[in-house]
């Protein structure tokens, strides 16, 4: 366990010393930012589909599910995790 912590610490140190320095927080937030953009992408795709087709319905369902996930992620933002 101690070796793992040391290895992680060394990796983070190397990352922060590199040209493209990113914090652990930025590594964690980037996927969440992508997820928040998916409803917009799917909405654009839906506009290109004919209504009442299988693809249109699947895109509608996916958008609804992603919106629920988006709202859940936003609700987590209000928590204070020991900061």
Provide φ and ψ at 48, rounded to 5°.
Answer: -85, -10
Angle at 48 between CA 43 and CA 52, to 5 degrees: 85
Condensed to tens digits (0 to 9), the pLDDT of residues 24-63 reads 777 777 888 888 889 999 999 999 999 999 999 999 999 9
The mean pLDDT value of the chain amounts to 81
Predicted pLDDT at 78: 72
The token pair at 77 is 């933002």
């Amino acid at each position: 366990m101690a070796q793992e912590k040391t290895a992680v610490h060394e990796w983070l140190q190397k990352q922060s010393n590199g040209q493209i320095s990113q914090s652990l927080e930025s590594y964690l937030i980037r996927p969440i930012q992508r997820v928040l953009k998916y409803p917009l992408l799917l909405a654009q795709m839906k506009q290109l589909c004919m209504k009442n087709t299988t693809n249109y319905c699947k895109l509608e369902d996916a958008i609804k599910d992603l919106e629920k996930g988006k709202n859940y992620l936003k609700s987590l933002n209000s928590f204070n995790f020991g900061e």
